[in-house]
């Protein structure tokens, strides 16, 4: 189980860094917003993975709050960009 969690975590971290690269180099603002949203989603999955590994339920609450904050931030940025375009 430990090697499985480590492997999945490593793959997710590599994907987060690829999304971070896309957020830095994205040709449009929309690409950057989507990349940041994907980073937030992958972070939420990592928190849920840690929750299942340690058997602690309160980490799932943290993941849920993190997901809601990421969603609201994405909607807020999209509304801001829609108004400025």
Per residue in 12-67, pLDDT (tens digit) is: 999 999 999 999 998 988 889 999 999 999 999 999 999 988 999 899 999 999 99
Domain total for the chain? Answer: 1
pTM: 0.84
pLDDT of amino acid 41: 93
Query: Which pLDDT belongs to residue 14?
Result: 95
Q: Find the domain containing 8 and state its range.
A: 2-84
CA nearest neighbour of 40 among 59, 58, 61, 15: 15
CB atoms within 10 A of CB 83: 7
């Amino acid at each position: 189980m430990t090697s499985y969690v480590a492997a999945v975590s490593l793959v997710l971290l590599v994907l987060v860094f690829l999304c971070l690269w896309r957020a830095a180099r994205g040709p449009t603002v929309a690409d950057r917003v989507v990349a940041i949203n994907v980073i937030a989603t992958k972070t939420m999955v990592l928190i849920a993975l840690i929750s299942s590994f340690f058997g602690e339920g309160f980490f799932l609450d943290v993941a849920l709050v993190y997901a809601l904050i990421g969603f609201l931030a994405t909607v807020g940025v999209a509304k801001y960009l829609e108004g400025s375009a």
